[in-house]
Amino acid sequence: MALDGITPQELRDAVLWHLTYTLGKDPGHASLYDWRMAMSFSLRDRIVEPWFDSTRLTYETGAKRVYYLSLEFLIGKMLNDAATNLGLRDVAERALEGLGPRFDELVADEPDAALGNGGLGRLAACFMESLATLGVPAHGYGIRYEHGLFRQRFEGGRQVETPEDWLKQKHPWEFERPEVAYEIGFKGSVHGDSWSPGESVMATAHDMPIVGWQGKWANTLRLWAAESTNLLDLDRFNAGDYTAAAEPEALARTISRVLYPDDTTYAGKELRLKQEYFMVSAALQDILRRYFVTQTDPRQLHKHVAIQLNDTHPAIAGPELIRLLMKRGLTFEEGAGVAERVLNYTNHTLLPEALERWSTWLMGNVLPQHMDLIERLDDRHRKAHPDRPKHVGIVQNNEVHMGNLAFIMANKVNGVSALHTDLVKETVFADLHALHPGRIVNQTNGVTPRRWLKLANPALATLITDTIGEGWEADLDRLQELEPHIGDNGFATAFGAAKRANKVALSNWIGETTGIATDPDAIFDIQIKRIHEYKRQLMNILQTVALWHRIRQDPDGDWVPRVKIFGGKSAPGYAVAKEIVHLINDVAAVINADPQVKGLLKVVYPPNYNVSMAERLIPAADLSEQISTAGKEASGTGNMKFALNGTPTIGTLDGANVEIRERVGAENFFLFGMTADEVVARRRIPDHARLAIEASQTLRDVLQIVAEGRFSPDDPDRYHGIVDRMWHHDYFLVASDFDAFDAAQSRVDSAWRDPAGWQRMAALNTARVGYFSSDRTIRGYMADIWDVTPAS
């Protein structure tokens, strides 16, 4: 079912057709929005056929299906992605010639689908794309949040959040399926094995086709919207209270109203538990409905279905699947047996604040039957392991531990990098690992090279194709074939020109959006990710202050020019992260306005970092900041995107950095800092921060400058809290790693002074990181976890 070609003229006709008949617009009066819709519908039409073919083939072959359950899918824009995978980007550009807006203007007009916070949500989006590329029969299930991740603005350097509104305009990539709807109950009472919910809502399906590379296969991302079971309260309506009559509808809709904006921190709110159950119940009802179209025996489910739980967020799937199977006639024991052969759980973090725990009171109130089932599961597990230490129960101290529930219900449990998986075995799940050896496996994360290289970096992608030929996009190990060419003059010149062009484009964009002038010949040093203490943006900005201080002491010195770029959102309720945001902005304002610096150092923090901004920044980066406290970043995926785009890393031995360094070679990676083991040992030393600060003249100077209020002259005490915490509560060891980081930055400067050597290092990064394609990751899940083979 290879994709039929389409000429620019044919696509142009399709666009004009949609403009006229779908949008009802005369081309002479069409807005940018109209053109974008018409183009999106025209490309979407090209996906429908492979989409149907994929479904038909899956039914015909009876292939095992994969279901990816996630509370987050951080998709970003879809138009350019669809055009890229259909191989129609050039055709689309030409189709529009002379008509009105250019294709890139249409692309820019599309709002990001920001149905996720950060790495976990973006990973789900990369996995959906790779599943389609590999032709795996798969569905993603999630929530169609009316409002995705909030938009970030800065006011006086402080983060201000405003609601995101991606559905204000029609989203052309979704198909509403009013006929696919399930009832979801909450609360109420339980009598024996039967539950009478006290409330209920409807989950209605909205499908997005996800097309793989070259348009050969397309899967469905099915997102659920919450609606009321009854649109109006008829009693109140008939009594004449029309406003109050609409209340049930509004209340029901709150369930899919907004994405919780916390990344790796769990909020413990009732509404969040309802969201989790809402998505899971709708997904499982849908999965079973599809299963029983062709099958009759629920005990054979594992032969036809593999379900992946993205973190513990959908972990209520264990009890819910048992409940649904019991309704189909299975005993509790049979249901549990089926569930634990079908479900798998990915752990994405060891941070204690991220591990979901629901009070038994809340769980018993919102999901009374599930609370019963959880207790029975706990009992069952205890009886199966009479020698089992007490503290690995699902319920402990009147709390339901969702990690333990997910583990106990899973066929396989996986970590997301080699180091992280080792730590999962040694720490949070050490006891359960001892009881279930072999259940924990590693699947190192990956990223899709279609979006993160082909789409985001056309200059480099073209050079790669010119050098090694076509096909690397779906066979990323082939990037190794670049290596023999790296020394060639032609290649080196072109590689340098591509990076340089990307930097000029970024510099122009920074100028337009922030008013800050940046030198494209400076090192573009970039840290983009959620703001978190463990990710240590604080260390980066303090080291920036150190550099500024040095330049001022020797303004005529031979300094290597740097542009420090930050991007990322703080959770709205995360006070310390918000202070760090404010500090970065305050430092930027002072440094950028300092005439003594003579433009040698600039600090840029464009607001509202998102997937689209990442696509703009990563191809233009010279240095990738991956500086988390060792043992805290489960994997990281930004690290992979930078390396793929020819950007060396400055980083710690944390998460997937370890594997990136092994592959690119130690000489092409700026390593610094304590190892995970050293971190644990260091924390045991009382006053470790004070000792580190006292040992470092640089850090003492920097902290002094910050404490004096040099970056907050209007409010000199503003950063006393930050400085005080550095001395006394430096849990993430910024002080202890500071000098090592600063020294590694000096090594970066020295390496930069040798342009040919630097470029070789950058190119070797691209050539050696083919392993980090999410295609490789998905193949790992297929072989080690799901037991599936592609249908095509």
**Contact positions toward ligand Z15, by CB under 6 A?**
117-120, 123, 263-264, 311, 348-349, 354, 416, 445, 633-637, 655
Taking the complex as a whole, the smallest distance from the CB of residue 123 to ligand Z15 amounts, in Å, to 4
Catalytic option among 46, 499, 535, 718: 535
Minimum distance of ligand Z15 from residue 637's CB (angstroms):
5
**Closest approach of ligand Z15 to the CB of residue 260, in Å:** 10
Report the DSSP pairing between strands 73-76 and 343-346: unpaired
Nearer to ligand Z15, 364 or 636 (CB): 636
- Interatomic CA distance for residues 476 and 480, integer angstroms: 8
Comparison of 419 and 600: residue with beta carbon closer to ligand Z15: 419
Torsions phi, psi of 173, nearest 5?
-95, 5
Residue from 357, 530, 536, 632 carrying the catalytic annotation: 530
Least CB distance from residue 655 to ligand Z15, whole Å? Answer: 5
> Which entry of 641, 661, 663, 718 is annotated as an active-site residue?
641
From 12, 65, 348, 451, the catalytic residue: 348
Distance CA 141, CA 118 (A): 18
What residues does 153 pair with on adjacent strands?
A: 160
The residues, ordered by sequence, that sit 6+ positions from 714 with a Cβ below 8 Å of its Cβ are none
**Which amino acid type is present at position 345?**
Y
Query: What is the C-alpha separation between 213 and 423, in angstroms, rounded?
Result: 35
Distance CA 631, CA 352 (A): 13
Active site residue 327: no
The answer for residues whose C-beta is within 8 angstroms of residue 733's C-beta and 6 or more apart is: 629, 674, 679, 682, 683, 688, 689
Strand ranges inside 22-81, DSSP E: 65-69, 73-76
* DSSP letter assigned to residue 4: P
Residue of this chain nearest to ligand Z15 (CB atom) = 119
Q: Which is nearer to ligand Z15, 51 or 345 (by Cβ)?
A: 345
Q: Would you state the structure tokens that stand for residue 620, as one six-digit string?
A: 């233009």
> Could you confirm whether 46 is annotated as catalytic?
no
Q: How far is CA 456 from CA 115, 357, 611, 614, 625, in A?
A: 20, 39, 11, 9, 19
Residue 348 a catalytic site member? yes
Residue 535 annotated among the catalytic residues of the structure = yes
Choose between 80 and 417: whose C-beta lies nearer to ligand Z15: 417
3-class secondary structure per residue, 592-646: HCCHHHCCCEEEECCCCCCHHHHHHHHHHCCEEEECCCCCCCCCCCHHHHHHHCC
3-state DSSP assignment of residue 716? coil
Spell out a b/e string for 657-676, using b for 16 or more CB atoms within 10 Å of the CB, else e: bbbbbebbeeebbbbbbbeb
- Smallest separation, CB 651 to ligand Z15 (Å): 13
Task: Select 413 or 416, whichever has its Cβ closest to ligand Z15.
Answer: 416
CB of 402 to ligand Z15, least distance (A): 11
Tokens 């369930």 belong to residue: 255
Cβ of residue 78: shortest distance to ligand Z15, in angstroms?
A: 21
List the 523-528 sheet strands across, edge first.
601-604, 562-567, 523-528, 623-626, 649-651, 670-671
Give the active site residue among 44, 222, 401, 529: 529
Q: Smaller CB distance to ligand Z15: residue 120 or 218?
A: 120
Query: Using alpha carbons only, what angle is made at residue 749 by residues 744 and 755, rounded to the nearest 5 degrees?
Result: 130
Closer of 354 and 523 to ligand Z15 (Cβ): 354
Report the nearest approach of ligand Z15 to the CB of residue 258 (Å).
16
**Which pair of structure tokens corresponds to residue 528?**
């983009």
- Residues 379, 390: contact at Cβ < 8 Å? no
Min separation Cβ 608 and ligand Z15, Å: 18
Nearer to ligand Z15 among residue 58 and residue 349 (C-beta): 349
Return phi, psi of residue 719, to 5°. Answer: -105, 20
Q: Is 530 a catalytic residue?
A: yes
Residues 6 or more apart whose CB falls under 8 angstroms from that of 231 comprise 249
Alpha carbon distance 626, 386 (integer Å): 44
Rounded distance between C-alpha atoms, residue 260 and residue 689, angstroms: 34
Shorter beta-carbon distance to ligand Z15: residue 420 or 499? 420
- CB-wise, 473 or 633, nearer to ligand Z15? 633
Residue 36 known to be catalytic: no
- In angstroms, the CA 662 to CA 668 distance is 10
List residues with catalytic annotation. 348, 529-530, 535, 637, 641
